[in-house]
Structure 1
Amino acid sequence: MIYKDYENRDINDRSYWNGPGAANRRVIYKAAGYEDKDIRTKPHIGIANTFFEASPGTGHLRRLADSVKQGIWMNNGVPMEFGVPATCGNVAIGSDGLRYELVARDIVAMSVEMVCKVQKFDALVILATCDNIIAGAYLAAIRMNLPVIVVTGGSMYQGECHGKKIVQAEMDIATIRRDEEVVNMFEEHVCPSFGACPSMGTANTMQILGEALNLVLPGTATIPAGDSIKLRKCVEAGRAIVDIAIKGRKPAQLISKEVILNAIMLDMAIAGSTNAVLHILAYSNELGLGVTVDDFDRIANEIKCLVGVIPSGNLSVINLHNAGGVPAVMKRLESKLYLDVPTMSGYTWREYLKHVSVVNEDVIKTLDKPFENMPGLRVLKGNIAPDGAVCRATGVPQEMLKFMGKAKVFNLEEDAYDAIMTDRIKPGDVVVLRYEGCKGSPGMNEVMMATDGLVAKKLANKVALITDGRFSGFNHGTIIGHVAPEAYEGGVIALIQDGDLIEGDIQGGTINLLISEEKLEERRKSWVRPEPKVKKGVLALYGATCRPSNEGGAMQNWLK
């Protein structure tokens, strides 16, 4: 049984590493420098490190891993570090590399799964920081169902130039405008330290949600990468994982539907990246918990944005951390949360929050006096998106909360971007950007050039953009994504034609094509699925195996 069901054995059962039949395993570990007693008797703790020295988000993770290992050794465990692929999405902006970003989440999860299944670790620590990499770390943790802690890389400090605070998204706009002087100035100052970009992009959103998901130790997600307390908390995580391994506490025991609903409440309160919807749905499906986009919509009607972090406001994640971090936001949500679910600390949220206070009332607002009287996210439905679409409501200009305009339709982001930059998109238009969904892209492209182009051309408060693709967590404007069903699957977005009237109501949660059902049916009959854009490699594999965006977009059938 030990060979077939290693994850479900008692940790004190060391038969896999003892006796003559285990000699082939022991000899390899001895050759790698581990001592016989450690191999035979102590918990083996895998350390999955997404270190990549060419990115500030991951370039410091080797140092953090050393501190984690120190804590593991101190608590009588045996750390075994291995590498996991990582990228930086900023490098891919303006290229087809962004189509690999969501695919990367699944590659990270599969990489960790493969190593753990072969090496038979007793527990796992994953170090990750950015975007789909940390999202993949969580997916791996849930899939493996080993005792696990995810250690976040933290946020970088906010850049400053000529007395003004600056962030990466501002440089992207200056780049599109070809403002070389501003770009050169920003390059020197915008990323002053290691860590995730300090806005509420996907990286910081997912780091923060890790605490509510019981995958990150409470109070640690937002610690700045450059703060020495980060190293001390890494030692603490190393010690803690050995204790958690001995107790046998695994994600399946710590993550219930109520835990995921708590994470969605937290996501609304921080106005998190729309990409969090994809990831949370994937986690729910991995665990069979039944969370849907309708849960996001229901919670959005109850909880408004409490924290004005860029792009919803002008604060950084460092400001949020100094105001009390994730525990303080959870304290604000106390009357809404499922309080009797556990935390990684071993306490319930009810017990844990008794000792939490909000340090800065101006940074973390209250439920009755929120930062923005809008939810951090809206799920829109209608004939364009019967299975849902998402919008970061706090990033929508007031005058665009309701809109109606004529469609300008594009099947490639490059074409839409070119039309925007050559002034073929006019105020009042609705840009429809399709075949950028999970299967049609394939990879569910982040249509960042098109959205940044609207900002650069000062059209963000005059033009709406609708897509079956997705957005960067930095983006803002009247942008509606994740339209499901996507165009490649024959969704209504595939049937829209230039000049069609589209009506959207962000607060009301609707998005509709204003033509008759009879005319739509005529178009359905003549629609032909296009040839795949990519026919080999990992993108083609993703397109052939992924779930739709409203189920999380993972390369997984979740067969029962």
Structure 2
Amino acid sequence: MTTRSGDILGKPEWCFNRSVYKSAGYSEEDLERPIIGIANSWNDLVPGHTNLRQVAEHVRKGIHMAGGTVAEFGVIAACDGTAQGHAGMHFILPSRDLIANDIEVMVEAHRLDGIVLLGSCDKIVPGMLIAAARLRIPAILLPGGPMLGGVEFDGRKSDLTTLSEGLGMLKSGRIDAATYGDLEESCGPTCGSCAFYGTANTMCCMAEAMGMSLPGAALVPGVYNDRFRLGEATGQAIVALVKQQVTADRIINFSALENAIRVLMATGGSTNAVLHLSAIAAELGISGAQMMEAYDRLSASTPQVAKVNPASKYDMEDFYKAGGVPRVMQAILPLLHRDCLTVSGASVEENLAGYRYKYPANPEVINTMERPFGNQKGLAILRGNLAPQTAVTKPAAIDPAMHVFSGTARVFDSEEAAEAAILDGRIQAGDVVVIRYEGPKGGPGMREMYKAMKYIYGMGLAKKTALITDGRFSGTNNGCFVGHISPEAADGGPLAAVRDGDRISIDIPQGLLQLHVSDEEIAARLAEWQRPPPRFTRGYLGIYSRLASSAADGAVLRAPE
């Protein structure tokens, strides 16, 4: 079998390279086998990654069993949760591109034959998938699995984000300090990606839906022993893909991305998936406009067959036990590209036909197309004079009574300013909170307005106000929100022209985001507008703010024209 690694390990011309490997402890026999990389984002800082050292041991076992040689290396992984609400969040989305580049460098510099991608959280999983699409070698993604839910609070199992909702309750006198302290101790009881259907778990589900993970791999909880068995199976599967020369670009294609979009809509996943799937597509030469058309088209014809926290009281463990991604895909099978190849070596349809569920079905979590939780769009693309390119919202997480909302603009030029106003009680029913200069360039890094929405919920305003931004949201946010507004304010988009007191309308059924100001007045305001100075001029964020593209194109890095 011809391998990439074999091209640089042949005798006698490449004996220097062989000696380098042997200096690291490899044997003669090791160098005769396919060399399989494990890109492991294990660290002590992120609960979604603290089990990956153990998971990797089982992946290594599977690779050895199947006749491969392991080459494991580390990948950075920053925690969205820890970074929320301060300058650290500027680095989170930009870390996605560092991860992709890092993996590309290691794979190409060492001519690895295949790669197992170990990661669980928000920007790590899409960064790894971007690398897989770019490298076009055999690749499999294996998540570490979600954490279990915490103590019951406010009518459902708690999770880490419950603390942000609880802070609003504490500030408004709805709970006391002792209750809040107890919640801190008990809302995150295990390792794993957060227990709600946020961006982390959404992107793990997207990887499985597009065929880049083994069936069922997305949602087995991180503390379940099945996670280790999946590690071993993944190790064996990657060697089989290398031997058969099934590269990632044969699996990740437009049809596979459409399958992922279908699952995204059917489950009401995170709005961030729009950004990340578009970035993956960009590696394949698929434009942002083509992807936006797909989101629009597929969302209109995909019923919501799963309902999970934050859209219901059921968390990731419940979602897994109800059947997870396989049962969702089985439910919407007539809408899928069933012949798409997957990393198991079988097609989507073949995987589903042979899948064994370990727990009984739960129609309160996953139902059928005939009895969906709703026929409204799981995610929706909005356009209008405030979003000439696009904006993104999540009807599945918005009370139907708020799908059409008009209010008075309260404008803030940073996340911190808006959060202070909310906690100070300066936001009232009927307001539309506008947070701008938080896009890919302006932020830079397109921070999540996670805390702002949680504070609005905690203050009892979730069904009385709206929030719009050129930044992002967490997959756990609910309430009336619109993000990814493009062009962003820092690029001179219409969001930069909004003033306090303006009237703004959100109409999800009609797909509209409208500023009730004449085109002439918007043009006059923008003519007077001056681009604010960049918040960062040095280091990686200084580079990122100059190179990041529009959110409508996935916020990918592009060389200046």
Post-superposition shift, 1:357?
7.7
Q: Say which is worse superposed, 172-181 or 321-330, in terms of deviation.
A: 172-181
Residues 98-134 of structure 1 show CA distances to partners (whole Å, capped at 9, x for unaligned) of: 1111011111111111111111111101100111111
Picking from 85, 99, 103, the partner of 1:112 is 103
Of 7, 13, 21 in structure 1, the residue corresponding to residue 13 of structure 2 is: 21
User: Who is 2:86 aligned against?
Assistant: 95
Measure, in 2, the Cα distance between the counterparts of 1:499 and 1:132.
Answer: 36
Residue of structure 1 equivalent to 2:539: 537
Shift of 1:369: 1.7
Tell me if structure 1 keeps the 8 A contact 2:486–2:552: yes
Q: Write out aligned runs for 1:258-407 (5 A).
A: 258-290=255-287, 291-356=290-355, 359-362=360-363, 363-407=365-409
The whole-number CA distance in structure 1 between the counterparts of 2:196 and 2:377 is 18
The aligned counterpart of 2:27 is 35
**AA in 1 matched with 2:23:** A
Partner deviation per Cα, 1:253-289 (whole Å, 9 max, x = no partner): 1122111011000000111011000000001111113
Displacement, 1:347?
2.2
CA distance in structure 2 between the aligned counterparts of 1:357 and 1:122, rounded to whole angstroms: 31
Query: Which has the higher mean CA deviation after the structures are superposed, 365-374 or 157-166?
Result: 157-166
Match of residue 138 from structure 1 = 129
Kept in 1: contact 2:444–2:544 (CA 8 A): yes
Q: 1:373: how far off? A: 3.6
Tell me by how many angstroms 1:472 deviates: 1.1
In structure 2, the residue corresponding to 1:481 is in which secondary structure? Answer: strand
| Range 257-266 or range 400-409, more displaced | 400-409
The answer (yes or no) to whether the contact 2:4–2:112 under 8 Å persists in 1 is no
Which residue pairs with 1:5 in the alignment? none
CA drift at 1:29: 1.2
Q: Which residue of 2 aligns with 1:518?
A: 520
- What does 1:405-554 correspond to in 2, within 5 Å? 405-554=407-556
Match of 1:240 among 237, 241, 249: 237
Match of 2:163 in 1: 171
- TM alignment of 1:142-161, pairs within 5 A: 142-161=133-152
Residues of 2 paired with 1:406 and 1:357: CA distance?
Answer: 52
Q: 1:203 aligns with which of 184, 200, 206?
A: 200
Q: Could you tell me which amino acid in structure 2 is paired with residue 311 of structure 1?
A: P
What is the RMSD computed on CA atoms of the aligned residues?
1.8
Output the amino acid matched with 2:361: N
Match of 1:6 in 2: none
Question: Does the 8 Å CA contact 1:161/1:189 hold for their aligned counterparts?
Answer: no
Q: Which amino acid in the other structure matches residue 195 of structure 1?
A: G
Structure 2 SS opposite 1:28: helix
Shift of the 204–512 alpha-carbon distance from structure 1 to 2, 3 Å rule, reads same
Query: Partners in 2 of 1:464 and 1:20 — Cα distance?
Result: 68
1:201-224 residue CA offsets vs partner (Å, 9 max, x unmatched): 011001111012221112211111
CA distance in 1, matches of 2:4, 2:522: 63
Amino acid at match of 1:535: T
Matched with 1:230 is 227
Q: Hey, what's the Cα distance between the residues in 1 that align with 2:422 and 2:5?
A: 63
Letter in 2 for 1:147: P
- 2-structure distance, mates of 1:373, 1:209: 21
Q: 1: distance between equivalents of 2:156 and 2:443? A: 38
Tell me whether 141-150 or 182-191 shows the greater mean CA deviation: 182-191
Query: Does the 8 A contact of 2:90 with 2:447 survive in 1?
Result: yes
Q: CA deviation at 1:94?
A: 2.3
Q: Per-residue CA shift, 1:20-41, capped at 9, x if unaligned?
A: 33122111211111102211x1
Deviation at 1:361, TM superposition (A): 4.5
- The 8 Å contact of residues 161 and 186 in structure 1, kept in 2 or not, is answered as no
Contact residue 162 and residue 187 of structure 2 kept, 8 A: no
1:51 is aligned to 2:52: no
Please, which runs of 5 or more residues in structure 1 have no aligned partner?
1-8
Cα deviations by residue, 1:387-445 (Å, 9 ceiling, x for unpaired): 11111111112322111111111111111111112222111011111000000000001
Distance 1:365 1:509 in 2: 27
CA deviation after TM superposition for structure 1 residue 518, in Å: 1.4
The question of whether the paired residues in 2 share the 8 Å contact of 1:547 and 1:557 is answered with: no
Q: State which of 39, 50, 61 in structure 2 corresponds to 1:70.
A: 61
Name the SS of the counterpart of 2:552 in structure 1: helix
Q: CA deviation at 1:12?
A: 8.0
1:199–1:317 Cα contact (<8 Å) kept: yes
Greater shift in the superposed pair: 350-359 or 17-26: 350-359
TM-score (norm 1): 0.95
Q: Is contact 2:250–2:341 with CA below 8 Å preserved after alignment?
A: no
**CA drift at 1:182:** 2.5
Q: Contact between 1:534 and 1:540, CA under 8 Å: does it hold in 2?
A: yes
Contact kept? 2:469, 2:485, Cα under 8 Å = yes
Letter in 2 for 1:155: P
Which residue type is aligned with residue 214 of structure 2? L
Q: Paired residues, what number? A: 550
Q: Which whole-Å deviations, capped at 9, do the CAs of 1:268-315 have from their partners, x for residues lacking one?
A: 011101100000000111111343212111111111321111001111
Shift of 1:558: 11
CA drift of 1:251 comes to 1.3
Task: Confirm or deny: 8 A CA contact 2:383 2:513 kept in the other structure.
Answer: yes
- The 1-side partners of 2:129 and 2:312 are apart by 28
CA deviations on 1:36-66 (whole Å, 9 max, x unpaired) are 2211x11001111000112221001000001
Are 1:555 and 2:554 an aligned pair?
no
Give the C-alpha shift of residue 180 in structure 1: 2.8
Question: Gaps spanning 5+ residues in structure 2: where?
Answer: none
Rounded to whole Å, the distance in 2 between the matches of 1:267 and 1:15 is 41
Instruction: Return the alpha-carbon distance in structure 1 between the equivalents of residues 560 and 34 of structure 2.
Output: 30
Aligned-partner Cα distance in 1 for 2:336–2:559: 31
